[in-house]
Amino acid sequence: MKKKRPINILFIASEAAPLIKVGGLGDVAGSLPKALKNLLPNQLSGNELDIRLVIPFHSMINQKLENIQLVSSFLVKHSHGNIPARVFLTSVEGVPVYLIEGGSILSDQNVYSSNPEYDAKKYIFFSIAALEMVKNINWHVDIIHANDWHTAITCYDLKLRKVTDPFFRNTKSVLSMHNMPYMGAGSERILNEFGLPNCPCTDLPEWARSIPLPIGMYAADFLLTVSPNYANEILTPDYGCGLQDFLNKRKDSLSGILNGLDESKWDPKIDNTLHFNYDSTQLDVRLKNKLALQTEFGLEKDDTIPLFIMVTRMDQQKGVDLAISALRMIADSSWQAILLGTGDPVIESACRSLEVEMPSKVRSVIRFDLNLSKRMYAGGDIILIPSRYEPCGLTQMIAMRYGCVPLARSTGGLKDTIIDEDNSNQNNGFLFSEPIPEIMAQTLIRAISDYSNRQKWQIIQSNGLHTDFSWEKSAIEYANIYIDLIEGER
């Protein structure tokens, strides 16, 4: 029997760990291709996947690479003069990674800027170049998997090229939405300069027809969100960002797959940044980590006081303001809190004010500090995640893996990963519904009360530690979608 050729998949993203990581997208683009690559043919109905990743050759990547080779160079059409692109190939943990250089990619210091047109110029160039590269290296790609607005234009360009270019006739595209409100607005003129017409789709509201994410949503063969619950939420006006009617029409081509956690990278048993390592059978060792944290931050050393932590980007989405108000409401109870993160200066300064107001209870650490975050996961009792929306969320999964119990808003992927039911032995955290400080405060009080019941608490922690967040399960779901698309079943 003739051996089937592998299914060729190009995963395209603006960032991918460990080469370059700014946010959760970087974690996903760093882990999912690897997880797909590790699937065995018997998990894929006999198929094999040839998965490769492409990201921009950001200037910060340079020094991390040992063996790269130039594999392709070409011009990307532009009305002010065609732009040269060069593609390099390297490999990260067994996954081939293409790095595209050209336009403003290499000269730019940051992955994202605060200037929408500037980012549009970079990412629209990148999105088009990725497709051009596939043709240039003559790789017959079956699935292009784009992520967020930065690469959504690849799906649109593909749809346009399919009409005239037989090379792409059988290529399908998938678009994952990690954060819907970021659509790439401000790209209109740039799209034009790269020769891309406004989107003809009349199901899209008019304002959306020249914005990358909605155009990509129109063009992609299949749409994905990073949790099942978020896929439902975006069909409603509260979360749909004005595209809910359009999305309802595309409902049959929309699904949500929960992000996984790279369990080898987040493991309290071998994490060498911790003072004391432990596994799920040694929860008492966490107490030593908690005392070390209390010492480090000059908080009262007392294990009976519940220690809240927050590890977050400080922006509107993450609801830090809700947490601050809720903590103020329970000022009379006994607790401590360490807040870690950077972002919006207004939110940062609200955290600092809370520390000034409650010096015996609160510490605010306004910086990005991965090692400290790990010590906090390992020593904190309860992590606060009051997000206004959360497409998936990674911190709740990391926290649970470290035995730190999540207290979160019941939204998006938080709702898919945290169980909080009346009288259940399965609970692994605490959820509250409305983004209202009073309601969060009530939930904090409930958690404090459960914390004082050692036996109950250990069950909650242990449930979290045993929840399966491995990538393998999700990777199989992705692979099934790719296979169905190729076989014309979606």
Site residues, ligand GLC (CB under 6 A): 23-25, 28, 178-179, 226, 259, 390-394
Taking the C-alpha atoms of residue 163 and residue 7, their distance in angstroms, rounded to an integer, is 22
**DSSP secondary-structure letter at 404?**
P
- How many alpha carbons lie under 13 Å from residue 175 in its C-beta half-sphere? 30
59 or 316: CB nearest ligand GLC: 316
Nearest distance from residue 227's CB to ligand GLC, in Å?
A: 8
212 or 391: CB nearest ligand GLC: 391
E-assigned strands of 189-306?
Answer: 222-225, 254-256
Nearest distance from residue 30's CB to ligand GLC, in Å?
A: 11
Nearest distance from residue 358's CB to ligand GLC, in Å?
A: 29
Contact 56, 14 (CB under 8 A): yes
Contact 146, 12 (CB under 8 A): yes
Q: Tell me which amino acid residue 319 is.
A: G
Taking the C-alpha atoms of residue 85 and residue 80, their distance in angstroms, rounded to an integer, is 15
* CA angle, residues 17, 137, 98, in degrees to nearest 5: 10
23 or 240: CB nearest ligand GLC: 23
Other beta carbons within 10 angstroms of residue 335's beta carbon come to: 21
226 or 378: CB nearest ligand GLC: 226
171 or 474: CB nearest ligand GLC: 474
Residues 6+ apart with CB under 8 A from 62: none
24 or 429: CB nearest ligand GLC: 24
Place of tokens 């904190």: 380
H or E stretch covering 430:
strand 430-432
Nearest distance from residue 389's CB to ligand GLC, in Å?
A: 8
286 or 318: CB nearest ligand GLC: 318
Taking the C-alpha atoms of residue 458 and residue 395, their distance in angstroms, rounded to an integer, is 20
H or E stretch covering 91:
strand 83-92
State the Cα torsion 32-37-43-44 to the nearest 10°: 100
Nearest distance from residue 64's CB to ligand GLC, in Å?
A: 22
Residue nearest to ligand GLC as judged by C-beta position: 24
Nearest distance from residue 409's CB to ligand GLC, in Å?
A: 12
Nearest distance from residue 259's CB to ligand GLC, in Å?
A: 5
| Residue 309, helix vs strand vs coil | strand
391 or 464: CB nearest ligand GLC: 391
Nearest distance from residue 107's CB to ligand GLC, in Å?
A: 26
Q: Tell me which amino acid residue 243 is.
A: L
